Amino acid sequence: MTKVNGYEVPEGLYYTKDFAWIKIEGEKVRCGVTDYAQKQLREIVFVELPSEGGTIKANEPYGTVESVKAVSDLVAPITGKIDKVNTEVSSNPGLLNEDPFGKAWLLIVTPANKAEIKNLMDYAKAVEWHKSLIK
């Protein structure tokens, strides 16, 4: 893992410019929000997630995160079917501030088209992108 000005960027994940990450787990991907996003939002007080069995579409909102500072859309990093929703985050939104890459994952999705992953930033590109955000 690398820290870019205090923001964690773990290796082995893919990232979007909408502050989402995915981790490939066999035929599925685990999705969440980045450390940068949760720190910018500060104290997260509410998370609205879609239902299991539904679908998400890359680059389109699928839920919201509310903090004491703002309400932000959660934007899908990939298109696919939602296999599992982390209901623990809905009942304890502060988990996003505590562990955005671990306990606070949001969705497990079966991608409709794994080729979409090529559109995401790999670790090296994500580190450079984070450096460009923080000047």
Res. 135: pLDDT tops 80: no
pLDDT in tens, 17-67: 999 999 999 999 999 999 999 999 999 999 999 999 999 999 999 999 999
Q: How many CA atoms lie within 13 A of 99 on its CB side?
A: 8
Per the CB < 8 A criterion, the answer to whether 71 and 93 are in contact is no
How far is 60 from 112, CA to CA, in rounded Å?
15
How far are the Cα atoms of 18, 31, 131 from residue 72, in angstroms, in the given order? 10, 16, 22
| Domain boundaries 2-129, corresponding CATH code | 2.40.50.100
Res. 4: pLDDT tops 90: no
pTM: 0.94
What's the token pair of residue 97?
């501030």
Residue 133: band (very low, low, confident or very high) from pLDDT cuts 50, 70, 90: confident
What percent of the chain stands above pLDDT 70? Answer: 99
Residue whose C-alpha is closest to residue 37's, from 78, 90, 74, 68? 74
Q: What pLDDT sits at residue 69?
A: 85
